[in-house]
Chains A and B, each alone.
Chain A
């Protein structure tokens, strides 16, 4: 049977995945998992990183071929060999990483996504049709703008609009709100919820935000380590019950209580200005003071200059103008200064920004001190034994899961790479800690451990600058909250007094 010839069912339809098992070599990613999404429902798929959520939906979309199991679409069993088959059945997926082409316009991206792109595109006609389509949709996007020029929220709307433009009736959303402000998330999910209620759409949403599950989903399926851990109606569950089902019996590191008051100014930024890779101004003359024993959180939707600011502090980017002072001394991110002021860095994407992937865990852990005693004699002769001993000690202390200290660090999971960086950066006394999205994409256990370490560093008197796209993380950890928008700090206040609506509005630039 040629799948393309079956007409897609009209209106919402359901999808069932039955007894799905997926093996990658020795690794069992999915073990006899069942997922039932009723037609016209909003279904949430919960699970930690590595629980098999992505593998499951990729099997449904035809990216992977399940070792065992069946997919039933709209009541009929279907063999989905590739994404094109899934699209022909009316299944669509919005990925966590955007699949829009940044260098092209929104209109080009929409037309390009069709299966029947004409050999020569009649742009005036297409634009007219696109405008007519947008007029029927509850949210708007600028058609002629380049995708690289629009905000993350608009991109996410584009991704969803693209699926609707392609007349998909069953949407899989992979963490759709991770780049949106809370208000934007509510707007997008609320609009999708309306379409579900009208019976036009069925939605399966991968997420880890309980707030969204409680507010928008009808039913939930929870996976843990490749197995079905639970399923049921959201109305009958509490966030606590869902979290326990997700994590299982694993014990989480307990975060120490906030103790002590902020001391003297430790890290001072004065009118820092920095450019992005394309030469445009990304950071506009920002000033900020972080005191000892204080966590200052920088909130903001990604792409508002946070990355460039952190790169300036990490020495990865030269500031155009402005000045950084640490404990009163000028600071230019040299190794000597970092050492003298006990600066620690937890940059985002640690494998890329804080590690050499091909070098061993032991080497990576020793980067800060590798040419000093006890790792080296005379500044040049390296003592491999000292590397190994130190690594072994820290691997135990920070619960890094690695086969040996000699394993290349790129072979470790994201959580364990971050634990290794944590072991290197936080092992000694820390006076200044700069962390950027330190928990992005990590599981509960790693997140709890990292949060506990950051709080402990603060309590010991470190000045902590925490840049994060996760507002919940900032509200939990920081003493003071700053919002960054278009390269400027547009809001500053004590976290205990922060009003979520006000913060969200500033994040969106209003």
Chain B
């Protein structure tokens, strides 16, 4: 047996590979949501954006033959959905959480409707870079086949961290999220800042979706997303709205999601579904540990509807 040589090492290796593969949509959605929430608004519709992004990326990639055009299309679709969310939330007395839930259902529903003809055909997929060339062990090579989008996401986290501190736009987004009164007193339009932040957030979430349909799992069907979009929103909360922590949290979630399949591959079959639930258990556990009824969340933007 080929894998006999590494034995139980298969599990951590598969978790590592999973962390890299599975985390990419988490990473993009959470970074996007991080931008949106730092501007003082929650977009719960990113699950819908993710699925719409996956569908449009697959469709465009199939039609044009270029997966990168597909990624771009996914981003644009996401930005449009973001603009829709921001537009509705700009109206007086509209609750962003309720709008987000509506758009989540709208996005997934629309994607399933428009994506019906895409279930059969095969679209060109995104390329991967082989970082495991030095190894003879197939598991290592499989784990280290890394998609370019993942690398972009990893680079994006520190860039966002830097941008929130040192760029005009970063400071404006934080101002709108921490004190809309202050932003208004300086003569800025809070609604416009939030519109742009929500569109950028949607753009990134759409790209996260394109990863699902164009790389891993790499096809279009209705069961494509198992709630990554909504989990990523929760992930932003315990990453304390910090892009760098979003990166680590995404990797942890990716790893947790890969635990079930990895254990199964070494023959641990009992409790398979329980291990598959690892990311959700992780969500609950972290929420319980980090939250307290007696204090507010540190780092939470003061204008968020959930913290106000």
Residue positions of A touching B, CB distance < 8 A = 82-84, 87, 93, 95, 97-104, 108, 111-113, 115, 117-121, 123, 275-279, 318
Contacts and interface: CB of A to CB of B under 8 A. Distances in A.
Given A97-B181, A99-B182, A104-B174, A278 B187 contact: no
A175 to B, nearest CB: 16
Contacts, number: 71
Given A101-B182, A102-B178, A117-B168, A277 B296 contact: yes
Nearest to A112: B171
B186 interface: yes
Interface of B: 165-169, 171-172, 174-175, 178-179, 181-182, 185-187, 292, 294-296, 298, 301-302
B213 to A, nearest CB: 35
A112 B168 CA distance: 8
Contacts of A108: 171
B295 A278 contact: yes
16 contacts: A82-B187, A84-B187, A98-B182, A99-B182, A99-B186, A100-B179, A102-B178, A102-B179, A103-B301, A108-B171, A112-B171, A115-B187, A118-B168, A121-B167, A277-B296, A279-B295
B179 A101 contact: yes
Nearest to A94: B185
Pick the most buried of B165, B167, B179: most chain A CB atoms within 10 A of its CB: B179
Nearest to A166: B186
A108 B171 CA distance: 8
Contacts of A111: 171
Contacts of A113: 186
B167 A87 contact: no
A26 B96 CA distance: 33
Given A99-B181, A101-B182, A111-B171, 6 more contacts: A84-B187, A99-B186, A101-B175, A117-B168, A278-B295, A278-B298
B168 A318 contact: no
Contacts of A118: 168
A215 B185 CA distance: 30
Contacts of B179: 99-102
Nearest to B170: A121
Q: Is the interface of A mostly helix, strand, loop or mixed?
A: loop
Contacts of B302: 102-103
Given A99-B185, A112-B186, A275 B174 contact: no
A103 B171 contact: no
B168 A121 contact: yes
Given A103-B302, A112-B186, A119 B174 contact: no
A349 to B, nearest CB: 15
A115 B171 CA distance: 13
Contacts of B181: 95, 97, 99
Given A84-B187, A95-B185, A318-B294, A101 B178 contact: yes
Interchain residue pairs A-B with the least CB separation, the first 4: A279-B295, A84-B187, A99-B185, A99-B182
B168 A279 contact: no
A392 to B, nearest CB: 32
Nearest to A318: B294
A279 B167 CA distance: 31
B174 A103 contact: yes
A120 B185 contact: no
A104 B299 CA distance: 11
A490 B209 CA distance: 59
A81 to B, nearest CB: 11
B112 to A, nearest CB: 40
B178 A103 contact: yes
A275 B187 CA distance: 36
A84 B183 CA distance: 12
Most buried by B among A101, A102, A104, A112: A101
B187 A83 contact: yes
A357 to B, nearest CB: 15
A318 B293 CA distance: 11
B295 A277 contact: yes
Contact of B166 (A93, A104, A123): A123
B294 A279 contact: yes
A123 B302 CA distance: 25
A112 B185 CA distance: 12
A84 B184 CA distance: 10
B93 to A, nearest CB: 14
B168 A119 contact: yes
A140 B166 CA distance: 24
A120 B167 contact: yes
Nearest to A120: B167
A119 B167 contact: yes
A289 to B, nearest CB: 28
Which among A98, A112, A118 has the greatest number of chain B C-beta atoms within 10 A? A112
A120 B166 contact: yes
Contacts of A277: 295-296
Residue of B185, B292, B296, B298 most packed against chain A (CB within 10 A): B185
Nearest to B162: A120
Nearest to A103: B178
Contacts of A98: 182
Nearest to B171: A112
Contacts of B301: 103
A115 B294 CA distance: 40
A326 B185 CA distance: 46
B181 to A, nearest CB: 6
Contacts of B171: 104, 108, 111-112, 117, 121
A108 B179 CA distance: 14
B243 to A, nearest CB: 16
A113 to B, nearest CB: 6
B159 to A, nearest CB: 12
B271 to A, nearest CB: 37
B85 to A, nearest CB: 24
B185 to A, nearest CB: 4
The residue in B172, B294, B296, B302 that gathers the most chain A C-beta atoms within 10 A of its C-beta is B294
Contacts of A83: 185-187
